[in-house]
Amino acid sequence: MGENLVQAENVIEDNTRPLEKECVLKVTNLTKRYARKNAVDNINITINKGDIYGFIGKNGAGKTTTMKMIVGLLSPTSGSIELFGDTKLIKGCKRVSTVIENPAFYPYMNARQNIEVQRILKGVEDKSITNELLELVGLKEAGRKKAKNFSLGMKQRLAIAIALVGDPEFLILDEPINGLDPVGIKEIRDLILKLNKEAGITVFISSHILGELNKMATRYGVINEGKLVAEFDADELSERVKPCIKILVNNPEKAVEVIKEKFGELDIKVNDNTVCIYENIDNFVELKSALVDAEIIVSSFTKEQEDYESYFLALMEGEV
């Protein structure tokens, strides 16, 4: 396989200042207008080398339109796009491969033939890449079976194998796990992680299956009705979706006073009669005793982890 897939990048560290990551994609004030509606509305996205960027949004939110503009399949109404620091997309797209909307392949050819056609079209002389890609995506045993008879998961893996011909540095995948069963989803997830970690390929992946993106993404962009409502990395997400101690009491205001007096200033929110503590308190017995001693009636006392999917849905609905 090409150099990008078989050897790690050499990095020379400069101890005098932090290393800046190479910017693979920079989208600035990007807009696509149809008639009287903006399908994509003035969005800004930054993807750095090594990212797995999860692009999250409901169907019709503008994910596919954005991806098509990035690779030149649609012309923006306004805004700018830089690929590898260059606004000339023809040059940058030579380092990019995509699987947008439906997996693309020749249905009456088998997996090997499909990859061979792409290898010839791209002028790749190394014939061994076909076997290596079949092995990589788990289709080496597909034999003479025609691609039209593949399962959806096999079709997605074949489409990714075809996209990898020519050794791209940046892979854009539009809803690659949509419609797959749990086994197929895991296969695609494992493949994306392997391409990113072992081959150093930067990945831009869209989906509305939030729980799966959370298992692989290093950065996130959330789009709703064409607008980018949030952009953050995985560490920030962990901070935003923190464990919570929920206490149902008869007097939440007094309960908050008692908790702060006993444990100091904490991140506390009150919703009706429920007090939510978003910081770790190990001694539940001491906490409950302090409330009871203050003659506060405690109806329930639970420790919960906020669901990532609920958080993303709240973002998309503008509730966060």
Verify that 161 and 278 share a domain, yes or no: no
Indicate whether 41 and 166 sit together in one domain. Answer: yes
Q: What is the mean pLDDT of residues 179-193?
A: 89
Does residue 299 share a domain with residue 172?
A: no
Q: Is residue 307 pLDDT above 70, yes or no?
A: no
Do 178 and 249 share a structural domain?
no
Residues 117 and 260 in one domain: no
Quote the percentage of the chain above a pLDDT of 90.
48
Question: In terms of domains, do 286 and 226 share one?
Answer: no
Residues 150 and 259 in one domain: no
Summarised one tens digit per residue, pLDDT across range 229-267 is 989 898 888 777 777 778 888 888 888 888 888 777 777
Domain count, the chain: 2
Same domain, 130 and 230: yes
For the chain, the average pLDDT equals: 85
pLDDT at 12: 36
Q: For the residues 259-283, what does the mean pLDDT come to?
A: 77
The neighbouring-strand residues paired with 27 are 45, 81
pTM: 0.77
Tell me, yes or no, whether 174 and 268 share the same domain.
no
Q: Are residues 157 and 294 in the same domain?
A: no
Structural domain range at position 153: 3-236
Identify whether residues 206 and 267 lie together within a single domain: no
- The contacts of residue 40 (CB under 8 Å, 6+ apart) are 30, 31, 32, 62, 65, 66, 69, 76, 226
Burial 101-126 (b: 16+ CB within 10 A, else e): eebebeeebbbbbbbbebbeeeebee
Q: CA geometry: angle at 35 spanning 33 and 39, to 5°?
A: 35
Q: Are residues 215 and 245 in the same domain?
A: no
pLDDT tops 70 at residue 30: yes
